[in-house]
Amino acid sequence: MSKVAIVTGGGSGLGRSAALRLAEEGVNISVVDVNEEAGEETVKLVKEIGPDAIFVQADVSKAEEVKKYVDETVEKFGTIDYFFNNAGISGSGKYYLDTDIEEIEKIININLMGSMYGIRYVADVMIKNGGGAIVNTASSAGVIGQTTVVTYSATKHALVGITKSMAAEYAKDGLRINAVAPGPTETPMVASYFEANPEMKKSAEAGIPQKRLGTPEEVAELVNFLLTSKAQYINGEVVRIDGGFTNAK
């Protein structure tokens, strides 16, 4: 029987790339995104590869909508084997004391609460069905401190803690949960951030030992490895994929 994965933020960037890479392994995909057009495009691309796919529109900052995408996935496919807990936003790039309270709350609600809701509902299904694998999208900003992303960094540091603590609590129940920590990567979210803060792109590229940004496909390859049976004894880890960026700090 084919495996089943939920990918949040699946309409673009890391989410779309991971969905397509998993599809190459024959995995059926539940694509979750707030953007219907982008999410449906990912579904189309997955089906062109071969596996089945559905789109569920959801605002992950709302617990009831997270529960909806979990319930609709189980209704369609019967189970959840893999979860790429990826949806997130970076924010405006303003210094923290110049950032509106509304923006702080939005970043926390999407990046942190949305991820926690996802883990809560997905892990419950996985454990009842004998186990499963989760990969959270952390960030280089979840490993080191970085300017202009204080709130974003706080949420990603929190995801690192969630990853480690969930593994400690539920590994015995067949749950594997890891995180990837990408450095600056060529995604629409990062492009939007650099457009608002052009000086930061040159600074980022200069600070990466490999002197380039990462690609979504490179991150997707790591996500695929961590989710699938190839990584059965990796649990509670935060794997950096940043061209040496955080090691150079």
Identify the helix (H) or strand (E) that includes residue 124.
helix 114-128
pLDDT digit string, tens, across residues 64-113 = 999 999 999 999 999 999 999 999 999 998 999 999 999 999 999 999 99
> What are the residues facing 53 on neighbouring strands?
29
CB of 45 within 8 A of CB of 20?
yes
Which of 81, 87, 27 minimizes the C-alpha distance to 58?
A: 87
Look up the CATH architecture of domain 4-239.
3-Layer(aba) Sandwich (3.40)
Q: Return the residue matching tokens 């496919």.
A: 77
What's the rounded Cα separation, in Å, for the pair 167 and 147? Answer: 30
Rounded to the nearest 10 degrees, how much is the dihedral formed by the CA atoms of 74, 125, 180, 199?
A: 60
Model pLDDT, residue 211: 86
* Of 1, 76, 5, nearest in space to 46 by CA: 5
Residues of the chain short of pLDDT 70, as ranges, are 197, 200
Closest Cα partner for 238 from 168, 155, 162, 181? 181
| CA–CA distance, 192 with 73 (Å, rounded to integer) | 31
If we measure between CA atoms, which residue out of 180, 175, 181 comes closest to residue 235?
A: 175
Please calculate the CA angle 104-124-142 and round it to the nearest 5 degrees: 35
Structural tokens at position 43: 């579904």
Q: Looking at residue 28, what is its pLDDT?
A: 98
- CA angle 26/133/84 to nearest 5° reads 70
Residue ranges of the domains in the chain?
4-239
Look up residue 48 and give its two tokens. Answer: 């062109």
Which residues have a catalytic role annotated? 152
Can you tell me the distance from the alpha carbon of 176 to that of 171, in angstroms, rounded to the nearest whole number? 6
What DSSP element (H or E) covers 32? strand 28-33
- Contact between 99 and 91 under an 8 Å Cβ cutoff? The reply is yes
Parallel, antiparallel or unpaired: strands 53-57 and 82-85: unpaired
